[in-house]
Amino acid sequence: MAQEDVFKKIVSHCKEYGFVFPSSEIYDGLGAVYDYGQNGVELKNNIKQYWWQSMVLLHDNIVGIDSAIFMHPTIWKASGHVDAFNDPLIDNRDSKKRYRADVLIEDKMGKYEEKIAKEIEKARKRFGDAFDEEKFRQTNPRVLAEQEKLNALHARYKAAMEQMDLAELRQIILDEEIVCPISGTKNWTDVRQFNLMFKTEMGSTADGAMQIYLRPETAQGIFVNYLNVQKTGRMKLPFGIAQIGKAFRNEIVARQFIFRMREFEQMEMQYFVKPGTEIEWFNQWKQWRMAWHQALGFGAENYRFHDHEKLAHYANAATDVEFHMPFGFKEVEGIHSRTNFDLSQHEKYSGKSIKYFDPESGESYTPYVIETSIGVDRMTLSVLCHSYQEEQLEGGETRVVLKFPPQLAPVKLSVMPLVRKDGLPDLAKQIVNDLKFHFNTHYDEKDSIGKRYRRQDAIGTPYCVTVDYDTLKDNTVTLRMRDTMEQRRVKISELRSIIEDTVSITSLLKKLV
């Protein structure tokens, strides 16, 4: 099945099974805004819990905060967002659709990469074990030609982005013959800058309302609380502050489900370090963050680092963690070495000294910062995409199953009485009542057992338990595993110990230490 079709199926599955709904749907929705349903919110909460605990439980020098969404407007002047939080936009005159010029060009580079990857795959099949990829890349004329085009485009794009040369970005789009995917034409407007911050007003107009912004990132809430936390927590460098919260961006293109939303959630951690040690910490955090992703078991081949083409003026290193989504490798997390830019700017704009007194050296200085910034929604999407599978079963049947890591699954156990009589429902409910304190356990009595299993597969429940007539006699139940569909008879008293460890976030955290 084409990857685009898979993605469409995932989107409709998310709606059908209570993961993600378009916001305000009965009013025909609101562009790029989504609501999480009963299963989506559990999945998202588990992801947040995994992240939060990996930061503040596993690191004794990282603490959390929860800062307000509304902030003093000068913060966004100081951070550079008022002047420079822009994306280059371009319109197609025929389809009237709007695009990000940089994304159109990056997609084109992705197409060159895909062509090269296809050639390599073909050759690998042809040569089998004797295949030497490195040599093939260096000698195959078709690969070399594509690579040359890619390198040339890459160099031109990098230069244009560094100087924010809008005319050159447009020229690249024309020269590369990039067409609008809707109209298929090259009838492009000029490229313009567009500020992504949402504005609103605070206070009534009578007393002079103040224009404020909905925060476009959670990080600034951490920077402006640096001194509060450092002093009250008596923190010593290096130390980190973590936060999970909503962020808002008036994205130009919003057509990729929960990948790019106008209201979304971020999990950010700023790690304050001594100047001069930041690259060492940057590399350490790259490694820690990759380990966090890979502990989920989705396969190392589905992740890669993508170093930034264009470093923000304040950054001295930056990379993205990309995940293999059905629509290509895409950023889920950014790791940035932000120097002392933000703290220095707030010092300048607020007039308050924001320094660290180093008891060892006796000096005062502005700490440098390593930031790890991951989108909860993008992470949720990557988990959904990787877990969604359609399986052909014996007897021509198919099933749709979400093979979530059990620790992230919304429901861990579904308990089902075989029939709705003879005391079986009461016994099943008793099991639910005992286990619900330890993990998310549901009761399900409607439809045939087969249908109930399918329903649980579709929401990714790793375990089902069936209570039948033998249960009344010997206190055993049938435990059914989602992935293998294997069934075995176990004692009710053993259920907790069999399940609890495999579904707990702790079991994921243990892989990190």
Stretch that binds ligand ATP, among 10-18, 168-176, 369-377, 445-453 (CB under 6 A): 369-377
Of the pair 334, 406, the CB lying nearest ligand ATP is at 334
Structure tokens at 39: 């299963």
**CB closer to ligand ATP, 334 vs 367:** 334
Segment interacting with ligand ATP (CB under 6 A) among 108-116, 180-188, 259-267, 450-458? 259-267
Contacts of 135 (CB under 8 A, 6+ apart): none
| Closer residue to ligand ATP (CB): 176 or 371 | 371
Binding of residue 266 to ligand ATP (CB under 6 A)? yes
Residue 103 CB, shortest distance to ligand ATP, in Å, is 8
377 binds ligand ATP (CB under 6 A): yes
Instruction: Name the nearest CA neighbour of 390 among 26, 8, 114, 90.
Output: 8
Q: Rounded to the nearest whole angstrom, what is the least distance from the CB of residue 426 to ligand ATP in the complex?
A: 46
Q: Contact, 271 vs 289, CB < 8 A? A: no
In single-letter form, the type of residue at position 310 comes to K
Give the residue closest to ligand ATP by C-beta: 375
Residue 180 or 247: which CB sits closer to ligand ATP?
A: 247
Given a contact cutoff of 8 angstroms between Cβ atoms, the answer to whether 370 and 59 are in contact is no
Check the CA dihedral 256-262-268-273 and report its sign. positive
Kindly tell me which residue out of 378, 412, 480, 482 binds ligand ATP, with binding defined by CB under 6 A.
378
Residue 375 in the binding site for ligand ATP (CB under 6 A): yes
Distance from C-alpha of 154 to C-alpha of 497, rounded to nearest angstrom: 54
Cα dihedral: 111, 115, 116, 120 (round 10):
140
478 part of the interface to ligand ATP, by CB under 6 A: no
Other beta carbons less than 10 A from residue 299's beta carbon: 10
> Which residue of 260, 289, 338, 386 would you call a contact of ligand ATP, by CB under 6 A?
260
CA-to-CA distance for 316 and 328, rounded, in angstroms?
27
List 14, 75, 295, 332, residue binding ligand ATP (CB under 6 A): 332
Can you tell me the distance from the alpha carbon of 402 to that of 324, in angstroms, rounded to the nearest whole number? 17
Q: What is the DSSP string of 58-111?
A: T-TTEEE----SB--THHHHHTTHHHH-EEEEEEBTTT--EEEHHHHHHHHHHH
Between residues 195 and 440, which has the closer beta carbon with respect to ligand ATP?
Answer: 195
Question: Can residue 264 be called a binding residue for ligand ATP (CB under 6 A)?
Answer: yes
Using the rule CB under 6 A, is 249 a contact of ligand ATP?
yes
Please give the structure tokens belonging to residue 307.
Answer: 């170093």
Find the binder of ligand ATP among 14, 43, 374, 401 (CB under 6 A): 374
* Helices 101-127 + 141-162 axis angle, to 10: 160
For ligand ATP, the closer of residues 332 and 408 by Cβ is: 332
Judged by phi (left if over 0) then psi (alpha if -120 to 50, else beta), residue 2 lies in beta
Could you say which of 146, 322, 333, 468 contacts ligand ATP (CB under 6 A)?
A: 333
Classify residue 283 as exposed, middle or buried by CB count within 10 Å of its CB (0-12, 13-18, 19+): middle
What the block records as the tokens of 164 is: 């924010």
Interface residue with ligand ATP among 39, 243, 337, 373 (CB under 6 A) is 373
If one asks whether residue 220 binds ligand ATP (CB under 6 A), the answer comes out as no
DSSP structural state of residue 57: I
CB of 90 to ligand ATP, least distance (A): 16
- Distance, first Cα to last Cα, the chain: 39
Q: How far is the CB of 74 from ligand ATP (least distance, A)?
A: 21
CB of 199 to ligand ATP, least distance (A): 17
User: Which residues here bind ligand ATP, judged by CB under 6 A?
Assistant: 217, 249, 251, 260-261, 264, 266, 331-334, 373-375, 377-378
